[in-house]
Structure 1
Amino acid sequence: MKHIIFAILSGLLLAFGWPTYGFPVLLFIGFVPLLLVERHIRLSDIKWKKWSIFAYSYLSFVIWNFITTNWLQYADVFGASFAILVNSMLMAILVVTYHSIAKRATVNISLLFLMCLWMAFEKLHLGWDFSWPWLNLGNGFSEYFTWIQWYEYTGTFGGTLWVWLVNILVYKLMVKYQHQKSVKDLKSSGIVILAVLILPIIISLTIYHTYTIKGEQVNVIALQPNIDPYSEKYNVPNEDIADMLLRLADTKINAQTDLLVAPETVFADNVKIKELENAYFKRKLDVYVSEHPNLNFLTGISFINFITDKELVKKQSNYHNSGFWYDDYNSAMMLNASDEVQLYHKSKLVVGVETLPYQTIIKPLIGDFMIDLGGTLAMKTTQEERTAFHTTNPNLRVGPIICYESVYGEFVTGYIRNGANVLAIITNDAWWGDTQGHKQHLSYARLRAIETRRDIVRSANTGISALINAKGDIMSSLPYDTQGALSGTLTTNEKMTFYTWAGDYIARIAIFIALFVFLITMFRKARV
């Protein structure tokens, strides 16, 4: 019973340390009860130790995953169940792997392995086909962003490292207390824990209060049309959507407006790329832009491209039962006074909604399980490079981040390396209703601002649209489920942060260490 209580406690501590409702200090002790359970089982004489550890770990992580991400069920129950149960299973496997190493290595080596293995797992979640980095530990400080201003040097993996260091130190303190039963002998360990906990916060607060945002000021408007994606979005012609957006824009626009931003796939009635120029809604937008010659209009749009040459069929191309192939795109489009239409195609896709993972293996086994959230049910086609949109203002270059892409730190740095000095996030968070989903998604945008030191304009279909500065402050916002337009001023930045230049270097070092420890340890005889 004690093991069950400790496992539940770990799950609750991790869950109630999570944004946007939680207090992240709980993350620093969240793994301790579970580590104590693993140690007790490892040193005991019970049978089926690995299965016991897996069961208790799985319980902890299901609690954490369910409380923090159960809002996925409002889009799709199967998708939510899969994400929660499978992600919890993978996390539990990490603890079992640590258990195997702990039997063969010293305490410090095995705990170092666990910390590095966890970061390797988080890095995997940023790159593989079943990508789901929502619960990467570094994301847990997004509401307490004044604590992690040093993310401009480390990215979110600096936060993961911080969480694990404190958990390990507290765990070792607990084990030491169990042996000594004396508080006096624990003072030095307690001082070290406080130092590791508090010093990064002090450094961050110093950075926050001394950092100066410098650059050219640009005037922006974020549109929030508040369209119901389940009953309205895919049934309204693009021409009517254009009229709505322009009416909203008229409430805020002036001669000094540089950038107008509309949400992801707001033009949801699939447009053939080759026929874009002749589309009636596009002509309406062109007229509006011509009436405001300084304006740059960035909007989300759904494209389709029919493939006439079979040699051009890609892995992400879709086969229609009528006998033809086509590419389906979730894209960002930039219009301005120039004749060039700039496009970017979303490249970090939502599993099961926009992409079928490992389709050559999975599709023959279980068929096509793509989740229908309205519109065209098809795999999206991506592009290799991040695109920085150029504008009529020579001082403004915009990185168009589409929805889920904003969760990926190193991915977003690609826009900066390609010249973006302001970031625009276009998204549609309406699938989850008024839950933690859209709140967490907005909160994570703060992390991208700090990592890259770029101001962000965020246009969300149903909200929350916001303007975020390079320190992570939300300068202004529109409430959820509200139609409107948000105007304000952003500041450009031409400098690259260390993280923008180096990326997830902490994770890469962790992968090397974890692999090294695993290889030299697993062939040893168990110590206990």
Structure 2
Amino acid sequence: MLKHISLAVISGLFLALAWPTYGLCPLIFIAFVPLLWADYQLREQYSKNNFRAFLLAFIAFVIWNGISTWWIWNATPAGGVFAIIVNTLLMTLVFMLYHWIAKRRPLRFSLIAFSGLWIGFEKFHHHWDFSWPWLTLGNVFSERITWIQWYEYTGIFGGSLWVLLINAMVFTALVTYLQSGNRKYFIKQLIAAASLVAIGILISQYIYLTYDNKGETIEAIALQPNTNPYTEKYNRSHTEIANELIRLALPDMSPNTAVVLAPETVFSTKVTTEEFENSQTYGMLNQFIDRYPNTDLLMGIDLYKIYSDDIPRSKTANSFSNTASAWYESYNGAFFLSRNNPVEYYHKSKLVVGVELFPYRRFFKPLLGNVMIDLGGTVSTLTPQKEPSVFTLSKSDVKIAPVICYESIYGEFMGKYTKKGAEIFGIVTNDSWWGRTQGYQQLLSYARLRAIEHRRSIVRSANSGVSAFINQKGEVISRLDYEIQGALKGQLQVNKKLTLYSRQGDFVARIMAFVGILFALAAFFVPRKKAGEE
């Protein structure tokens, strides 16, 4: 059993060490092989092997999750442990389905089922209340953008399928060799697997070299105030913040500046839209754009709305002081301010579980009470906007997607912006809760995948960094590094064309999920033919 545990540890380390942004990416193509081999040996050596298989999978996946996402601890120790353990258990459950199928069916059948079930799990993990798709396998190539330019057709799930297919080919070759001793067949299969890796890279290289960034250019500025989220963020007035943002923007402003972005919840004291529009801060920002009439502002803000007595409250409403007589909704919002036009608002649609979203609230709150994680400010579950909005720049009529932080890891969701006409992506984010870790670096890196999937230029304003401009190939063309206060000025190319992925979304995941479920049902409910039966 110790040898099996060692193999599980190797798989966990390979998965973690392949991960961006520090990782040795090619390890991902063999990362599952040691675990699959350990599980295969268990099935051969032990008649009762379910607990052992569970233990091996749990060891591998807890190492992967722990090394790759330990930084959640910096924001919330309890939330970090919860995220790592729950995600590990979910991955282990998927592997156990494969284990049970493999006990009933041939190797290749079982591996096809595993690939479908794993990708189906990844897809499901994008949509339920406990959504945490950070470790979707296709994300592993975010720093190897010249390998995955074909994501404009498949999205990240094409990458997941690529990874699982290569692992399955290598594992099958290994098992066949150890069973038959046929070295030539083993080498042939390894060459086939390596060729499939090379073909994927070569196709991507061709697309990378022949793709030209499309569209006219507009000028944008991303502000990076570098406000400490633990000691400063909730202790400053909106007027102080507005003064600082204007001070940061002024040196780079020009008559050609189309939009200025400021980070997620940079205005962090909760206000209603009426309070904001009648505030000194609102007046200051309007005076600023009066000086630059071609410039619009896209900035993060904490909002809330109080319910009047005659309006039924929503599922995400919160009560004041735990009384049932007064209710309100909270929003992680962004406002879009342009000269001579009414201010527009967007409320974040994809919320962070435990911090912004109380999952399955009706079921868990009576059992657990209010267990929302306190990251400063008012602790309450937020109300998401059902569908994303796009804003139109006043000078050029270019449509910009207001993307708030966590939303940028959801490829199909970002496609909704493009279907509504978004020609550039404007990401406003606050990654500072995690400190100087892989957390903020990975979130920036994942944004590069969205640029490729939808062929949209990105301007990214982060509280403490990294603010950046990313072109349609996913290349970071300029950046303002972590914990540097300042402004980043750059050019964005405007693309109206929809990619195949923008139009079709996660079709690879849907197909593979169907395959996985079909094979699983066949494994458990369709009797196997006995020898000699036709």
Normalised by the length of structure 1, the TM-score is 0.98
In the aligned structure 1, how far is the partner of 2:38 from the partner of 2:389? 48
Aligned residue for 1:412?
Answer: 414
- Which amino acid letter does the alignment assign opposite residue 115 of structure 2? M
Aligned residue for 2:124?
Answer: 124
- Which amino acid letter does the alignment assign opposite residue 243 of structure 1? N
Instruction: Say whether residues 1:345 and 2:353 are aligned partners.
Output: no
Contact 1:229 1:430 in 2 (8 A): yes
Instruction: Say whether residues 1:44 and 2:27 are aligned partners.
Output: no
- Which amino acid letter does the alignment assign opposite residue 147 of structure 1? W
- Which amino acid letter does the alignment assign opposite residue 487 of structure 2? A
- Which amino acid letter does the alignment assign opposite residue 491 of structure 1? Q
Greater shift, 317-326 or 84-93, is seen at 317-326
Instruction: State the 1:294 CA deviation.
Output: 0.2
Instruction: Say whether residues 1:213 and 2:213 are aligned partners.
Output: yes
Choose which of 441, 446, 449 in structure 2 pairs with 1:447. 449
Instruction: State the 1:137 CA deviation.
Output: 0.3
Aligned residue for 2:371?
Answer: 369
Aligned residue for 1:63?
Answer: 63
In the aligned structure 2, how far is the partner of 1:362 from the partner of 1:93? 22
Distance 1:161 1:292, change over 3 A: same
Greater shift, 349-358 or 395-404, is seen at 395-404
Instruction: State the 1:303 CA deviation.
Output: 0.6
Aligned residue for 1:12?
Answer: 13
In the aligned structure 1, how far is the partner of 2:521 from the partner of 2:180? 34
Instruction: State the 1:243 CA deviation.
Output: 0.1
Aligned residue for 1:378?
Answer: 380
Greater shift, 491-500 or 186-195, is seen at 186-195
- Which amino acid letter does the alignment assign opposite residue 95 of structure 1? F
In the aligned structure 2, how far is the partner of 1:338 from the partner of 1:419? 23
Aligned residue for 1:81?
Answer: 81
Instruction: State the 1:44 CA deviation.
Output: 1.9
Greater shift, 315-324 or 141-150, is seen at 315-324
In the aligned structure 1, how far is the partner of 2:112 from the partner of 2:5? 26
- Which amino acid letter does the alignment assign opposite residue 429 of structure 1? D
Contact 1:296 1:335 in 2 (8 A): yes
Aligned residue for 2:200?
Answer: 200
Aligned residue for 1:359?
Answer: 361
User: Alpha-carbon deviations, 1:231-266, whole Å to 9, x = none?
Assistant: 111110001000000000012111111110000000
Tell me, what secondary structure is at the counterpart of 2:402?
A: strand
User: Alpha-carbon deviations, 1:170-201, whole Å to 9, x = none?
Assistant: 00111112123342232321221112111010
Tell me, what secondary structure is at the counterpart of 1:43?
A: helix
The residue correspondences of 1:21-36 to structure 2 (distance < 5 A) are 21-36=22-37
Aligned residue for 2:141?
Answer: 141
Tell me, what secondary structure is at the counterpart of 1:385?
A: coil
Contact 2:350 2:407 in 1 (8 A): yes
Aligned residue for 1:2?
Answer: 3
In the aligned structure 2, how far is the partner of 1:382 from the partner of 1:338? 28
In the aligned structure 1, how far is the partner of 2:287 from the partner of 2:468? 27
Instruction: State the 1:518 CA deviation.
Output: 1.8
Tell me, what secondary structure is at the counterpart of 1:83?
A: helix
Tell me, what secondary structure is at the counterpart of 2:23?
A: coil
Aligned residue for 2:283?
Answer: 283
Instruction: State the 1:106 CA deviation.
Output: 2.0
In the aligned structure 2, how far is the partner of 1:175 from the partner of 1:152? 35
Instruction: State the 1:309 CA deviation.
Output: 3.0
In the aligned structure 1, how far is the partner of 2:397 from the partner of 2:206? 30
Tell me, what secondary structure is at the counterpart of 2:87?
A: helix
In the aligned structure 1, how far is the partner of 2:190 from the partner of 2:512? 26
Instruction: State the 1:310 CA deviation.
Output: 5.2
| Structure 2: tracts of 5 or more residues without a match | none
Tell me, what secondary structure is at the counterpart of 1:113?
A: helix
In the aligned structure 2, how far is the partner of 1:254 from the partner of 1:148? 37
Tell me, what secondary structure is at the counterpart of 2:514?
A: helix
User: Alpha-carbon deviations, 1:47-78, whole Å to 9, x = none?
Assistant: 2x111100010000000000000000000000
In the aligned structure 1, how far is the partner of 2:349 from the partner of 2:195? 41
Tell me, what secondary structure is at the counterpart of 1:117?
A: helix
Tell me, what secondary structure is at the counterpart of 1:168?
A: helix
The residue correspondences of 1:112-511 to structure 2 (distance < 5 A) are 112-309=112-309, 311-321=311-321, 322=323, 323-511=325-513
In the aligned structure 1, how far is the partner of 2:22 from the partner of 2:46? 41
In the aligned structure 1, how far is the partner of 2:208 from the partner of 2:478? 19
User: Alpha-carbon deviations, 1:392-426, whole Å to 9, x = none?
Assistant: 12342100100000010000111110011000110
- Which amino acid letter does the alignment assign opposite residue 20 of structure 1? T
User: Alpha-carbon deviations, 1:21-61, whole Å to 9, x = none?
Assistant: 001110110000000111111122342x1111000100000
Greater shift, 38-47 or 240-249, is seen at 38-47
| Structure 1: tracts of 5 or more residues without a match | none
In the aligned structure 2, how far is the partner of 1:496 from the partner of 1:80? 37
Contact 1:103 1:526 in 2 (8 A): no
In the aligned structure 2, how far is the partner of 1:18 from the partner of 1:326? 41
Contact 1:105 1:527 in 2 (8 A): no
Contact 1:216 1:395 in 2 (8 A): no
Instruction: State the 1:279 CA deviation.
Output: 1.1
CA-atom RMSD in angstroms: 1.3
- Which amino acid letter does the alignment assign opposite residue 40 of structure 1? Q
* Percent identity (aligned): 47
Instruction: State the 1:526 CA deviation.
Output: 8.2
Tell me, what secondary structure is at the counterpart of 1:356?
A: coil
Instruction: Say whether residues 1:512 and 2:514 are aligned partners.
Output: yes
In the aligned structure 2, how far is the partner of 1:291 from the partner of 1:127? 44
Instruction: State the 1:525 CA deviation.
Output: 6.0
Instruction: State the 1:338 CA deviation.
Output: 2.8
Tell me, what secondary structure is at the counterpart of 2:126?
A: helix
- Which amino acid letter does the alignment assign opposite residue 340 of structure 1? P
Contact 2:174 2:186 in 1 (8 A): no
Tell me, what secondary structure is at the counterpart of 1:265?
A: strand
Distance 1:527 1:364, change over 3 A: farther
In the aligned structure 1, how far is the partner of 2:199 from the partner of 2:395? 42
In the aligned structure 2, how far is the partner of 1:105 from the partner of 1:180? 19
Tell me, what secondary structure is at the counterpart of 1:262?
A: strand
Instruction: State the 1:493 CA deviation.
Output: 0.2
- Which amino acid letter does the alignment assign opposite residue 414 of structure 1? K
